[in-house]
Amino acid sequence: MTDAVQTSTRRGRPPAGQSVLSRDAILEAAMSVIDDDGVETLSMRTVARRLGVDPKSLYNHVANKDALLDGIAGLILSRMVVPEPLGSLREDITAIAWAFRDAALAGHPRAARLVLTRPVESLLTLAPLEAALATFIRAGAAPEFAVHGLRTVLAFITGTLLREVETALTFAQSDPAEATARQQALESVDLPCVNEAATYLATCDHEQEFEFGLTLLADAFEHRVCTERRR
C-alpha cells in the first residue's frame, strides 16, 4: 500500500502533499479523536498521531491542550444558528436549546460537554450565550438567575446528548424483538414499579425525551421568573 493510500484512509490527516499544518486542520483532527474515542482521550499526542506529525509541531498553531479544548468548544457554538427571539421566555429558551442540540448532533455530539467546562471568555463566539442570557433578562430575570438558568439548560442538553451518543445501555428503539426481550427481562424482576413501567423503560425515543425534559425546564423557568417579578 502506498503512502498516498495510507494518508487518504486516516481521518483528520491533511491531504497528501500538504506539509503545512494549520489551526483549522488541528482542530478538525482533534474533533475526529473525540468522535472516535471520547473527550477523555484527547491530547496533543493523540492529535499529532491522527495527523501523522510530530507533537511538537502542533505548538506552532495551538498553545497547549487547553487552547485546543477552547477551540473545539468555540467551533461547536459557531455552528449554531441562533433563532430570532419571539419575546416569550418559554418559546425562546426552547428554540435555543433545540438549535444547540441540532448543531451538536450535526457534527460532534461527544464534544458538546466542552461548552460546559471551558471558561466563557475563552470561547470563539459568545453570540449563543448572549441570546440565551437575553431571553431570561428580557423576561424580567436578574442577571444571576439568567446565568443559573443558562447553566441548567446547558447541563440538561449535554447530559441528554451524552446519553444518546455514549450510553452503554442499548435502547431498542428500532428493533421490536430486542425491545420485547428487554421488556420481558424488566417484568421478571421482583420490583413492582419497574414491572409497571417496563414497556416504557424498554425503549427510548431520544427526541421525545429531550422535548419532555426541556418543556419541564422551560415551564419552571417561566413560573419562577413570573413569581420573582410579583415580589
Q: How far apart are CA 120 and CA 132, in angstroms?
A: 13
Q: How far apart are CA 206 and CA 173, in angstroms?
A: 9
What pLDDT, on the 0 to 100 scale, is given for residue 50? Answer: 93
Residue 216 has pLDDT above 90, yes or no: yes
pLDDT band at 79 (very low <50, low <70, confident <90, very high): confident
What pLDDT, on the 0 to 100 scale, is given for residue 164? Answer: 78
Q: How far apart are CA 105 and CA 210, in angstroms?
A: 13
Q: Which domains, and CATH codes, for the chain?
A: 3-62 (1.10.10.60), 85-230 (1.10.357.10)
pLDDT band at 215 (very low <50, low <70, confident <90, very high): very high
Residue 143 has pLDDT above 50, yes or no: yes
Single-letter residue type at 206 = H
CA 99 to chain centroid, in Å, comes to: 11
Beta carbons within 8 Å of 167's beta carbon, 6+ residues apart: none
Per DSSP (E only), the strands in 33-174 are: none
- Averaged pLDDT, 143-171: 80
Q: How far apart are CA 74 and CA 80, in angstroms?
A: 10
What pLDDT, on the 0 to 100 scale, is given for residue 2? Answer: 40
Q: How far apart are CA 147 and CA 142, in angstroms?
A: 9
Three-class SS state of 43: coil
Residue 167 has pLDDT above 60, yes or no: no
Q: Are 65 and 112 in contact (CB under 8 A)?
A: no
Three cell numbers written together for 84 = 430570532
Residue 126 has pLDDT above 80, yes or no: no
Report field, pTM of the whole predicted structure over 0.75: no
Instruction: Name the more confident of 64 and 179.
Output: 64
What pLDDT, on the 0 to 100 scale, is given for residue 171? Answer: 54
Q: Write down the mean pLDDT value for the chain.
A: 82
